[in-house]
Amino acid sequence: MLTGVVAGPVFTSPAVGSILAAIRAVRQAGAVGTLLIVKNYTGDRLNFGLALEQARAEGAAVEMVIIGDDAAFTTEMKAGRRGLCGTVLIHKVAGALAEEGAGLNEIVRKVAAVAGAMRTLGVSLSPCSVPGSRPTFQLAEDELELGLGIHGEAGVRRMKITTADKIVKIMLDHMTNPSNASHLLLRPGASVVLVVNNLGGLSYLELSVVAGSAVACLERRGIHIARALVGSFMTALEMAGVSLTILLVDDELLNLLDSDTTAIAWSQPAKVPVSGQRRERVAPKECPEEEERFPAGDQAFPKMKLVLGTVCNTLLSLQDKLNALDRAAGDGDCGSTHARAARAIQEWLDARPLPSDPSRLLSALAKLLLDKMGGSSGALYGLFLTAAAKPLKIDNDLAAWSIAMDAGIEAMMRYGGAAPGDRTMLDSLCAAAEELRALKNPRANLLHVLDKAVQRAEAAAESTKDMKAAAGRASYISSARLVEPDPGAVAAAAILRAVLEGLKAKPV
Ligand SMILES: *[C@@H]1O[C@H](CO)[C@@H](O)[C@H](O)[C@H]1NC(C)=O
Ligand SMILES: CC(=O)N[C@H]1CO[C@H](CO)[C@@H](O)[C@@H]1O
């Protein structure tokens, strides 16, 4: 791709002497001509221009192209159109042309045309800092900046953070809006190469999300994405941002971009299949027998829907609190996991009548949570409900519910490896289970017993504060840092309270 590269200090143009040394080295190695590919910054233009003049004076055949693929500017300004990630495509095209044996002037002509058919726009969630210095600019937590340069220079617009789809749409609109001075004219039916470039601080996951949005957005406009490149091609140190480059292509240009190179930083562009050829993802059909096996039971089981609805609302309202507790002890997703379960149950409640008997209800809930909840909580609740469903198959009086609770806990302990006192949801559940054994007394009052069980569970959840973690999320953490109750225990106690409230509430 390139024969030589001249690096200056971080974010600074190299000196004339360095550039001249590079030209001489290339020439001594046998090059008949040298093309300088320079990004459009004042310092670079000056230093490379001076080096070019000196090299020519020495008899070297040297040409220069200046790349300004920046699409940020709405009006032509004195310092405009910087060279950005599109320059990498120019390196590739010029290198391939030279490899094919094209002469220096032909390469200059073709490369200049390619440079005119391409635009780049960046967006960033954070500034970058030159090693040893402060950040190049300030950006609030919930802000992003559009149209910045690769040296942390300011962009054209700040906006509030929003989804990748929306950001990508704003970027592409800006790049192609004919009222903007530096736009690229992009008509439906055009073929393009898309480059999704990491500005330094994004993960591949984030980069791929942006790439997916960009492909979808361009295809919606009738643009054919002939090739897509996703990776770190031109970064701005650790800046958490991404740039999009769009280059209009024809077959000849594609051949040049596809030609082999040994440059390790060049990743072979992906050929994006036309959307029609991509197989649409088919949502799996819900299993129909399942529903038929469970006859409608809202009548037989009037309170259950209300109870489950209350549990879901409770878990959704606790999402942030549980996540915060979990951040201190685990990976910060306890609230999200429980909220995911709550939404799955809500959907399920809306979609079909409840199974008619408690055993089937718990089995169905177990299956739902195993399918949808995820995390170790999903597996543990699934185990709990599966085991609890069994005793209820035989009987469903109040005593059977106490036996079910014990069976569920026993299964959780067997597979989960935790015991009461280990700072997990078992602490709440076991405390409640002890109270619920009173249900075995034929004269027991359900609400009265449950009320006591809930209070015990809440006290147990609170007391996990002072426990050393021996299992579960927090056991990887030094106990000195654990000063809050365990989120799993808090969630379990909250579920029990919601059950109580649901049972007390009048059906509407
Ligand atoms: C380079 O930037 C200058 C302004 O600094 C602008 O006048 C010129 O058109 C730009 N060149 C290219 C090739 O974009
Ligand atoms: C000066 C000007 O016309 N700016 C336009 C550039 O494109 C954006 C769309 O992203 C418009 O909102 C601006 O008005």
Share of the chain above pLDDT 90, in %: 66
Please tell me which residue in 151, 174, 183, 338 is annotated as part of the active site.
151
pLDDT for 276 equals 54
Do 252 and 309 sit in the same domain of this protein? no
Q: Which of 223, 241, 258 delimits the end of a domain?
A: 258
Query: How many angstroms separate the CA atoms of 21 and 500, rounded?
Result: 81
Query: How many angstroms separate the CA atoms of 179 and 163, rounded?
Result: 25
> Is the CB of 441 inside a 6 Å radius of any atom of ligand 2?
no
* Within-domain flag for 211: yes
pLDDT for 107 equals 97
Q: Which of 37, 40, 111 to mutate to test the pocket of ligand 1 (most atoms within 8 A of CB)?
A: 40
Q: Which residue has the tokens 């709405």?
A: 74
20-24, 240-244, 327-331, range with the lowest pLDDT = 327-331
399: domain CATH number is 1.25.40.340
Backbone angles phi, psi at 260, to 5 degrees: -65, 145
* Within-domain flag for 97: no
pLDDT for 302 equals 67
> Is the CB of 180 inside a 6 Å radius of any atom of ligand 2?
yes
Do 238 and 320 sit in the same domain of this protein? no
Rounded to an integer, the average pLDDT of 466-493 is 79
Closest ligand 2 atom number to CA of residue 174: 10
Q: Token pair for residue 24?
A: 């001489």
| Strand, coil or helix: 13 | coil
Ligand 1 centre distance from Cα of residue 81 (Å): 5
46-68 confidence digits (pLDDT tens) = 999 999 999 999 999 999 999 99
pLDDT for 290 equals 40
Strands (E), 54-152: 62-67, 118-124, 143-146
Query: How many angstroms separate the CA atoms of 152 and 329, rounded?
Result: 36
Cβ atoms 92, 261 nearer than 8 A: yes
pLDDT for 300 equals 42
Range of the domain at 209: 112-258
Do 248 and 337 sit in the same domain of this protein? no
User: Could you give the C-alpha distances from 457 to 3, 311, 398, 482, 495, in angstroms and in order?
Assistant: 71, 15, 19, 20, 10
112-131 confidence digits (pLDDT tens) = 999 999 999 999 998 888 88
418-473 confidence digits (pLDDT tens) = 899 989 999 999 999 999 999 988 888 999 999 999 999 999 999 998 887 776 76
Do 402 and 492 sit in the same domain of this protein? yes
> Is the CB of 68 inside a 6 Å radius of any atom of ligand 1?
yes
> Is the CB of 269 inside a 6 Å radius of any atom of ligand 1?
no
Q: Which of 38, 81, 90, 108 to mutate to test the pocket of ligand 1 (most atoms within 8 A of CB)?
A: 81
Do 254 and 312 sit in the same domain of this protein? no
Q: Which of 123, 169, 177, 185 to mutate to test the pocket of ligand 2 (most atoms within 8 A of CB)?
A: 177
Closest ligand 2 atom number to CA of residue 173: 10
- DSSP 8-class letter at 200: B
Query: How many angstroms separate the CA atoms of 335 and 320, rounded?
Result: 6
Band of residue 507 on the pLDDT scale cut at 50, 70, 90: low
Strands (E), 352-502: none
Query: How many angstroms separate the CA atoms of 404 and 76, rounded?
Result: 74
136-151 confidence digits (pLDDT tens) = 788 888 999 998 878 8
* Within-domain flag for 343: yes
Band of residue 480 on the pLDDT scale cut at 50, 70, 90: low
* Within-domain flag for 106: no
Rounded to an integer, the average pLDDT of 158-178 is 93
Query: Does 236 score more than 50 pLDDT?
Result: yes
pLDDT for 135 equals 83
21-30, 100-109, 211-220, 461-470, range with the lowest pLDDT = 461-470
How are the residues of the chain apportioned to helix, strand and coil, as percentages rounded to the nearest 5? 50, 10, 35
CB atoms within 10 A of CB 394: 9
> Is the CB of 173 inside a 6 Å radius of any atom of ligand 2?
yes
* Within-domain flag for 424: yes
C-alpha 335: how far from chain center: 18
Do 213 and 351 sit in the same domain of this protein? no
Do 383 and 491 sit in the same domain of this protein? yes
Do 424 and 490 sit in the same domain of this protein? yes
In total, how many domains does the chain have? 2
Q: Which of 225, 258, 291 delimits the end of a domain?
A: 258
Ligand 1 centre distance from Cα of residue 268 (Å): 30
* Within-domain flag for 10: no
Q: If you count DSSP H runs as helices and E runs as strands, how many of each does the chain have, helices first?
A: 17, 8
Cβ atoms 40, 81 nearer than 8 A: yes
> Is the CB of 90 inside a 6 Å radius of any atom of ligand 1?
no
Do 235 and 314 sit in the same domain of this protein? no
Q: What HEC string does 255-311 produce?
A: HHHHCCCCCCCCCCCECCCCHHHCCCCCCCCCCHHHHHHCCCCCCCCCCHHHHHHHH
Do 319 and 231 sit in the same domain of this protein? no
Cα-based angle 215, 221, 226 (whole degrees, multiple of 5) = 50
pLDDT for 248 equals 97
> Is the CB of 77 inside a 6 Å radius of any atom of ligand 2?
no
pLDDT for 139 equals 85
Do 328 and 457 sit in the same domain of this protein? yes
pLDDT for 76 equals 62
> Is the CB of 39 inside a 6 Å radius of any atom of ligand 1?
no
pLDDT for 299 equals 44
351-365 confidence digits (pLDDT tens) = 888 887 899 999 999
pLDDT for 11 equals 85
Cα-based angle 37, 108, 51 (whole degrees, multiple of 5) = 45
Q: Which residue has the tokens 């299956």?
A: 367
Q: Token pair for residue 153?
A: 């220079």
267-309 confidence digits (pLDDT tens) = 877 887 766 555 444 444 443 334 333 334 444 466 888 999 9
pLDDT for 57 equals 94
Query: Between helices 425-436 and 398-416, what is the axis angle to 10°?
Result: 150
Closest residue by Cα to atom 9, ligand 2, is 174
> Is the CB of 84 inside a 6 Å radius of any atom of ligand 1?
no
Query: How many angstroms separate the CA atoms of 230 and 194, rounded?
Result: 8
Ligand 1 centre distance from Cα of residue 68 (Å): 6
Closest ligand 1 atom number to CA of residue 68: 14
165: domain CATH number is 3.30.1180.20
Rounded to an integer, the average pLDDT of 187-215 is 95
User: Could you give the C-alpha distances from 347 to 312, 314, 380, 499, in angstroms and in order?
Assistant: 10, 16, 21, 19
Cβ atoms 436, 405 nearer than 8 A: yes
Q: Output the average pLDDT for the chain.
A: 88
Query: Does 21 score more than 80 pLDDT?
Result: yes
Q: Which of 170, 176, 179 to mutate to test the pocket of ligand 2 (most atoms within 8 A of CB)?
A: 179
C-alpha 185: how far from chain center: 31
* Within-domain flag for 193: yes
> Is the CB of 175 inside a 6 Å radius of any atom of ligand 2?
no
Ligand 1 centre distance from Cα of residue 331 (Å): 49
> Is the CB of 246 inside a 6 Å radius of any atom of ligand 1?
no
Closest ligand 2 atom number to CA of residue 74: 1
Cβ atoms 158, 143 nearer than 8 A: yes
Q: Is 151 a catalytic residue?
A: yes
Cβ atoms 266, 315 nearer than 8 A: no
User: Could you give the C-alpha distances from 66 to 74, 77, 273, 279, 413, in angstroms and in order?
Assistant: 20, 17, 33, 42, 68
pLDDT for 297 equals 42
Rounded to an integer, the average pLDDT of 477-498 is 86
| Strand, coil or helix: 155 | coil
With a CB cutoff of 8 Å and minimum separation 6, the contacts of 225 are 191, 192, 193, 194, 215, 218, 219, 272
pLDDT for 382 equals 93
Rounded to an integer, the average pLDDT of 71-93 is 84
pLDDT for 265 equals 85
